Amino acid sequence: MRHEPVQALSASAMLELWEQGAGRDPLDQALLFLRHACPTQSFDALCEWTIGQRDACVLELRQQTLGDRIEAYAECPACRNGLEFELSCTALLASASDSDAIWTTVEQDGRSWELRRPNSRDLALAIAEADPKQARGILLSRCVRGEAGGAEAMMRNEDESALLAGRLSDLDPLAEVLVDLRCELCGERWQALFDIVTFFWNELHARSRRLLQEIDLLARTYGWTEGEVLRMSEQRRGLYVEMALS
């Protein structure tokens, strides 16, 4: 899957995106990111992108808008100590699958299975289920196919279904990014889930609120309209904010 080069979000686009996605679930917010990043793609086409393809595009949008470096935070599950760690958009993108194949054949316990990497439609149906086991079953029923009667047998076999779910994750590495961490305080080791959609949305939320505060300040100080403030470069706007506060 290839798409047009991703452009950085302008200040006005950032506010528009934030307003459109406020209060919506992460699945909808992810699709909003894609629509801004790839405006020539239809909504239906974007929904068919695998979760890894989706998140790769969101990573590119984040990289172009805020830079390559990601400063993240996690809490130790053992002692609750806070831990800061860094990631790189470039390094994460390097792990993305470059396969355009829709179905991939794998061998599991002497049987052949065809696996399809989950997309947003699959995920929407799965997360509607409160029971994690049922949610996994929905994903497998949509994304795994085998010999006659094999799928039904697989769904009844907890170990086999868990193994096939793991094979699905292996096919699309960016769909679930796990970061190995160690607590400096107690020595606990664990894997933290990094979700670029939620992380970038939180950054977008914070920056949009700060941007609105700057617009309010400059409008009251200089009488400028929102459009005039948004058309300024970030550097120029920042200098005016400094002068208005001095």
Domain boundaries, the chain: 11-97+176-207, 104-171, 211-245
Give the pLDDT score at 74.
97
Give the pLDDT score at 133.
86
pLDDT digits (tens, 9 = 90+) for 139-182: 999 999 886 555 566 666 777 788 888 899 999 999 999 999 99
Give the predicted TM-score (pTM) of the model: 0.92
Q: Report how far residue 135's alpha carbon sits from residue 140's, in angstroms, rounded to the nearest whole number.
A: 9
Beta-sheet strands, E only, within the chain? 69-75, 82-88, 104-108, 111-115, 144-146, 177-182, 189-194
Give the pLDDT score at 2.
61
Give the pLDDT score at 228.
97
Supply the mean pLDDT for the chain: 93
**pLDDT at 86 > cutoff 80:** yes
Cβ–Cβ under 8 Å, residues 58 and 52: no
pLDDT classification of 112: cutoffs 50, 70, 90: confident
Give the pLDDT score at 98.
85
Within 13 A of 205's CA, how many CA atoms are on the CB side? 11
Q: Report how far residue 10's alpha carbon sits from residue 234's, in angstroms, rounded to the nearest whole number.
A: 10
Question: Which of 2-11, 34-43, 84-93, 231-240 shows the lowest per-residue confidence on average (mean pLDDT)?
Answer: 2-11
Give the pLDDT score at 221.
97
Q: Report how far residue 78's alpha carbon sits from residue 190's, in angstroms, rounded to the nearest whole number.
A: 10
Q: Report how far residue 100's alpha carbon sits from residue 78's, in angstroms, rounded to the nearest whole number.
A: 41
